[in-house]
Amino acid sequence: MRTIALDSQILNTLCSCPRKVRLEFLQNWRPTEKAEALEKGDLMHRMLAHYYQGRKDGHKPYDTVNEAVEIARRASVDMDLNESTVDENIKQFKSYALWYQSDGWEPLEIERPFSKVLYEREDVEGKEGLRVLYEGVIDLITKTPHGIFVTDHKTASRRSTPSKLSNQFMGYAWATDSSNFIVNRIGFQKTLGEQERFQRVMLSYNSPIIEEWKEQAIYWTRVLVNYIDTGYFPPNFTSCDKYSGCIFQKVCEAIPEVREFKLMTNFYVGEPWSPHTRDAAKET
């Protein structure tokens, strides 16, 4: 039986550009310089993970916050972040911890990895079976005064409304059999107060929406299998300039004979992609 594993990062990229799937997730090309926003998000996630683990274990908040800050400072040595950016990240984390110190949250699980069978077709004569695993790491599952919620931390430098139709959020809801979800937004806007920078957006999913998500995820996995078997990953040029632009845009703009050189110059082959580890492609 053939096994295919995917997560929200692969699924999002598969929907936007098959060529990027090959470059980023199958050939494992990584940019030599990571985007600052992704580095900031990773640093905040490290502090929040330690902070909520400390709360779960009953440690003193002051000690836990200081330990989290020390973890961030050590981690930042290997990141492409200047000292002022690291200091700003730490400042926002401390403000967040102070703002929510009496929120009534009881952390149940922190950085919980999962791998769940999304689809399975047994081997039959003349046709190989297929098992699809959907994987990821959930930032936090917490008991709140309003119930138990799956929670994902998001850092942001501008105001925006989280989309309920997010592959990441719907996939987490499916994986945990939970309809309750919180997007824990931590803003870096210097002109806003804590009440506007720190927002917990509650989302609720019903079973028909999650079932629809599951069916489209299975469909796109079958598409991925076809790309792999044929060896052809067509580019989608309508995605090149979306958001801050695709990291491989300059590679695709070059003639085919030069693309390998562009890759070797601006990227390196990293470890195989795993949704169970923090990486440059982590959504922030």
Question: What does the pLDDT read at residue 259?
Answer: 96
Which residue in 271, 275, 284, 279 sits closest to 244, CA to CA?
284
Read off the pLDDT band of 39 (50, 70, 90): confident
Number of neighbours of residue 95 by Cβ within 10 angstroms: 15
247-281 pLDDT, tens digit per residue, is: 999 999 999 999 999 999 999 999 999 887 754 33
Say if residues 176 and 149 touch (Cβ distance below 8 Å): no
Task: Provide CB contacts within 8 A for 256, sequence distance 6+.
Answer: none
Within 13 Å, how many C-alpha atoms sit on residue 128's CB side? 9
What CA–CA distances, in Å, run from 193 to 92, 101, 177, 183? 11, 17, 35, 19
Burial code (b: 16+ CB inside 10 Å, e: under 16) for 74-83 equals ebbeebebee
Tokens of 125: 């004569």
Task: Fill in the DSSP letter of residue 192.
Answer: S
Lowest model confidence (mean pLDDT) among 34-38, 52-56, 137-141, 194-198: 34-38
- The answer, as to whether pTM is greater than 0.75, is yes
42-92 pLDDT, tens digit per residue, is: 999 999 999 999 999 999 999 999 999 999 999 999 888 899 999 999 999
Terminal Cα-to-Cα distance of the chain (whole angstroms): 35
Read off the pLDDT band of 169 (50, 70, 90): very high
Say if residues 282 and 41 touch (Cβ distance below 8 Å): yes
Residue 244, SS3 per DSSP: coil
Given a cut of 80, whether residue 101 has pLDDT beyond it is yes
